[in-house]
């Protein structure tokens, strides 16, 4: 079935061999129809998937503004204008792979430890047979259980983490797992490959110089946001590709606050002086030749979003990840 198909007569649980794409925007207006990501079919309506877009509406780990629990729904709403051909990557992301909206993973909203186990289990169910996952958060705490699930299938991965913040602090108020600590816990568990992983877009104030020294011990390469002023973006891309390695399984985690608040005001811990959405999308597209196995976009807090600026940026980033996965299948 061609991309943009309007066949919505498939019954729940019916396995369809040919990929079923989003609703056709030339037949059903963009503001109508499914409220799924990119108006894709739901997993329960197709019965199989190559790529699942799933929400994790969790924000129990935030330390400042709450509201990222509403991020997945907001990103889905902001994704209605996505179409079936990506000219930047020259790929039709829904033509050669079955992409579905897998809904939201259910978890305990009151207990972080319990939720982490449930999120890991829910993510693993979606990738256990080699499928790929693009996750919509939720706060950055969820990156830890997502990496645990990814490791059960692919082993340790190269991790590229786009963020204003390091997210490798040890604890907050003696709590070991919050949205500021997931990559410290991931390092302790050996979930990413030291020397093949990077933080990108880091900026803003810190508690002390020890924050940087402590982070360096975990084996991250750091690209500060000011590097995008002083260096051509192609140089940064080449540096990252050499760090990651062409065949190494790659996981990408994007905190939307890596973008400047002018581009993404709807987030919990905004920092001035960030990347533009154009720069970030170009960075993501540069991973086309790498072995991407999964990605997340987190920290979208719609209560602070104006005119869906943040939601649209997040939706397009998810679309780029789906496109990268399609391009690799060709």
Q: Token match 């996750």: residue?
A: 135
Q: What is the mean pLDDT of residues 305-324?
A: 98
Q: From CA 132, how far away is CA 255, in angstroms rounded?
A: 20
Q: What is the rounded distance in angstroms from the CA atom of residue 127 to the CA atom of residue 130?
A: 5
**In Å, how far are 12, 29, 92, 322 from 47, measured between CA atoms?**
7, 26, 21, 19
- Cα 330 from Cα 286, distance rounded (Å): 17
Structure-token pair, residue 40: 């894709």
**Residue 251 token pair:** 């996981």
Mind listing the pLDDT tens digit for each residue in 215-234?
Answer: 999 999 999 999 999 999 99
Per-residue pLDDT, 17: 75
Instruction: Give the burial class of 289: count Cβ atoms within 10 A of its Cβ; 0-12 exposed, 13-18 middle, 19 or more buried.
Output: exposed
The answer, yes or no, to whether residue 15 has pLDDT greater than 90, is no
For the chain, the structural domain boundaries read 37-329
Extract the tokens encoding 197. 């992983």
Apex 172 CA angle, 124 and 295, nearest 5:
30
Token digits for 227? 């590097």
pLDDT above 50 for 11: no
Q: Which CATH code, of 3.40.50.10860, 3.90.1150.10, 3.30.365.10, 3.40.800.10, is assigned to 37-329?
A: 3.40.800.10
Return the residue matching tokens 């540069």: 286
DSSP 8-state symbol, 38: G
Whether the predicted pLDDT of 140 surpasses 50 = yes
Q: pLDDT digit string (tens) for 166-194?
A: 999 999 999 999 999 999 999 999 999 99
């Amino acid at each position: 079935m061609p991309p943009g198909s309007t066949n919505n007569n498939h019954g729940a649980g019916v396995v369809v061999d040919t990929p079923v794409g989003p609703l056709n925007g030339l037949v059903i207006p963009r503001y109508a129809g499914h409220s799924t990501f990119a108006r894709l079919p739901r997993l329960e309506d197709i019965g199989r998937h190559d790529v699942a877009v799933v929400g994790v509406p969790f924000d129990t780990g935030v330390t400042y503004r709450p509201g990222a629990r509403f991020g997945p729904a907001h990103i889905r709403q902001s994704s209605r204008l996505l179409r079936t051909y990506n000219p930047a990557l020259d790929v039709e992301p829904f033509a050669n792979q079955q992409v579905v909206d897998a809904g939201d993973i259910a978890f305990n909203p009151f207990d972080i430890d319990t939720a982490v186990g449930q999120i890991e289990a829910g993510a693993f169910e979606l990738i256990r047979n080699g499928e790929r996952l693009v996750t919509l958060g939720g706060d950055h705490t969820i990156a830890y259980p997502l990496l645990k699930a990814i490791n059960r299938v692919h082993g340790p991965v190269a991790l590229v983490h786009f963020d204003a913040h390091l997210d490798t602090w040890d604890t907050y108020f003696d709590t070991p797992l919050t949205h500021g600590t997931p990559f410290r816990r991931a390092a302790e568990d050996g979930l990413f490959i030291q020397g093949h992983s990077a933080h990108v877009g880091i900026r803003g104030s810190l508690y002390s110089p020890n924050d940087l020294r402590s982070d360096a011990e975990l084996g991250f390469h750091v690209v500060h946001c000011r590097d995008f002023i002083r260096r051509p973006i192609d140089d940064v891309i080449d540096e990252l590709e050499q760090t990651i390695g062409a065949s190494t399984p790659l996981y990408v985690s994007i905190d939307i606050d890596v973008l400047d608040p002018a581009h993404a005001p709807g987030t919990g811990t905004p920092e001035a002086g960030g990347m533009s959405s154009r720069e970030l999308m170009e960075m993501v597209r540069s991973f086309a030749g790498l072995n991407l196995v999964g990605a997340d976009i987190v920290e979208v807090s719609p209560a602070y979003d104006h005119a869906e600026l943040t939601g649209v940026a997040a939706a397009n980033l998810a679309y780029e990840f789906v496109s990268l996965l399609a391009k690799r299948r060709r």
